Amino acid sequence: MTELNNISDQEMIQKEFEALLEDYKQSPHRQKIGIITSAFEFANQAHQGIRRRSGEPYIMHPLAVARIVVKEIGLGSTSICAALLHDVVEDTDYTVEDIESRFGPKIASIVDGLTKISGGVFGQQASLQAENFRKLLLTMSEDVRVVLIKIADRLHNMRTLQAQPLEKQYKIAGETQYIYAPLAHRLGLFPIKSELENLSFKYEHPDTYAELEKKLEKVKGAQMEMFEQFAQPIRNKLTMMGYDFELHGRIKSIYSIWKKMTAKQVPFEEVYDLLAVRIIFTPKLDMSEKDQCWMIYSALTEMYKPHPERIRDWISTPKANGYEALHVTVMGPEGLWIEVQIRTRRMHEIAEKGLAAHWKYKTGFNEEETELDKWIRTIREMLQNPSPNAVDFMDTFKLNLFAEEVFVFTPKGDIRTLPQGATVIDFAYLLHSELGDHCIGAKVNHKLQPLSYQLRGGDQVEILTSHTSHPAMQWLDWTETARAKERIKKYLRKQGVLSEQALQASEQVMDEQAEEKTKKIKSVVLTDDNINVLYKLEPCCHPIPGDEVLGYRDLKGQIQIHRVECPIAARHKSQHGKNLLSATWDITGANTYKQTIRIEGIDKVGLLIQVLYTISENYHVNMTDMQFSAKDGVVTGTITLNVHSLAEVNKIFRGLYNIKEIKALTRV
């Protein structure tokens, strides 16, 4: 049987390697089959006899990562070899020197970088490994291929996460959502970013994911029919204009649909813009790409009415990660809004392959520094004075992984890019460190504004300074960018105001004590008797029976229970993954739990009485507090209930939605 398995394994491994070579041959890179074959044979021999938790030979993982590197990120032979070898030094007796002697210094350097960061912020001791996290950023600023391969490694781990135990799934999904997805977005890897978010959501909210997946499957056919109806006039017009083009329709991801449902507090049935359309064309040589995108926009809006507030021009001012496109939302068939993205083939490749394609199209001759180049430079500057506390440093770094930007102008009209929520202080430090250190306020659009003023797109900002002004602790609350926070902390540490070494040391001791105190515990079962005795239901998210929950062992060894989607839990998942526990409910329904619901609706005489009657008489639920207000015909309010479970809350919601004036119900 073992011999048969070995034969089957060898066939599977060889088939996957041949698929990798086929992917590579389809790429535009100079073909270096020999060195890739050597790297594969070396890694295959090094991992001989080792299996993954799923049961397959370990070499299948490096092969899968290498395929992602070439096919989905667009890197070449050096990165493919490094991907094949990325676990050899960490998991076998071979050294970086062995890699260098066989494959040269560049491949060895990338493998070394991947090995160094494997135990850092992305390993088991994230909260204790400040130096390893610093190594990650240092390596990224020197050769970003290290991080691109690390993202490919994480993507494959997420694709095979079902083989891991539940608490490990929470940890890996949590840090993926917290660091990897934003990092992929920042590097322009949009398809990978989207898949990482979707997979994280799938493992954090399996029941909700399955429910939405089922609902989406039912409407996909109708959505694609609508796409064909919408697309045909566009095809005819672009053909008449003489363009070589592609027209694609895609359904939004389950995660993005859930985000919209959550943000707007609407059910799936009321998410109307499920469909997005993409126009990808080859530009003509006698006109600029920008002009041709606007010509296609003009042709499109002659056929379909545009939404005046949903036009996004990422061509005149590309996103900080290099993304370029023209977005417009138009009224399609059946009165539904459809977002259309207009891109040239060059723009599309940058949008799909991110950094690799971005650099491919740079000419190198007197070319202006892009926002992506500036970001990599900012990372280098951050490394000069990193915070000794790894968790704090990781939070600071994450601030630079912003998804949305605002564009503001200097007094001379130069454009600067900042994250949404950035303030006058952030802008001052962006221009110059000394300017930030002595900032006292700003003239924004010729009006005096304080340091805490949040900048809006299109603002023109003139920084005001005084030599007597210096950073204060409160400034940290008024800043959004990593650059500003690190500079302020540097000044405060120098003045003796901020000392983090002691905090880090005490946290490490307490963390170790907590782990020792409750380390046979891997999962908890919540019962009527142990809730809020052994296990505390946290007030940040108010979990109730029926919620998807997890346990977190805090620094005192006590076990907190959070809802899976709780923002506090997200931080725990990403930074203290070893302290996570799986948690399930086993309750009789004898106890009640406080749950506050928010109600929004159209005001009318007797509405409140109707609401109270529905809750108390129809569902026999006790109410302990309520607050309501009405303005301009709209009523909003909250009611705190004593409920037995999530199922009971859902029943109450269904009953209240039968009151036609009730428009939105949410748990607080």
- Secondary structure (DSSP) of 372-437: HHHHHHHHHHHTTS--S-HHHHHHHHHTTS-S-EEEEE-TT--EEEEETT-BHHHHHHHH-HHHHH
CA dihedral 432, 437, 438, 439 (to 10 degrees): 70
What are the CA-CA distances from residue 574 to residues 186, 547, 579, 582 (Å)?
18, 21, 11, 15
**C-alpha span between 237 and 221 (Å, rounded):** 25
**C-alpha span between 645 and 638 (Å, rounded):** 18
Tens digit of each residue's pLDDT (9 = 90 or more) over 438-458:
999 999 988 899 898 999 877
* pTM of this structure: 0.67
DSSP 335: G
Provide the pLDDT for residue 402: 42
Whether 388 and 381 have beta carbons less than 8 Å apart is answered as no
State both tokens at 217.
């499957």
Provide the pLDDT for residue 367: 52
**C-alpha span between 99 and 92 (Å, rounded):** 12
Provide the pLDDT for residue 377: 63
The partner residues of 460 in beta bridges, in order of sequence, read 409
What are the CA-CA distances from residue 474 to residues 169, 170, 286, 489, 596 (Å)?
38, 34, 55, 11, 33
Provide the pLDDT for residue 2: 47
End-to-end CA distance of the chain: 57
User: Among 649, 600, 596, which Cα is nearest to 626's?
Assistant: 596
Considering only CA atoms, give the Rg of the chain: 27
Collapse the DSSP code of 93 into the 3-class scheme (helix H, G, I; strand E, B; otherwise coil) and give the result.
Answer: coil
Provide the pLDDT for residue 366: 45
Helices of type H across 250-398? 254-264, 289-303, 345-353, 355-360, 371-382, 390-398
Provide the pLDDT for residue 202: 93
Provide the pLDDT for residue 303: 93
Known catalytic residues are 90-91
Provide the pLDDT for residue 73: 87
Residues of the chain with pLDDT under 50: 1-4, 120-132, 363-366, 386-391, 399, 402-403, 501-507, 509-511, 513-514, 517-518
State both tokens at 169.
């799934």
Provide the pLDDT for residue 20: 95
**C-alpha span between 87 and 59 (Å, rounded):** 10
State both tokens at 50.
């080792």
Provide the pLDDT for residue 513: 47
What are φ and ψ of residue 143, in 5° steps?
-150, 100
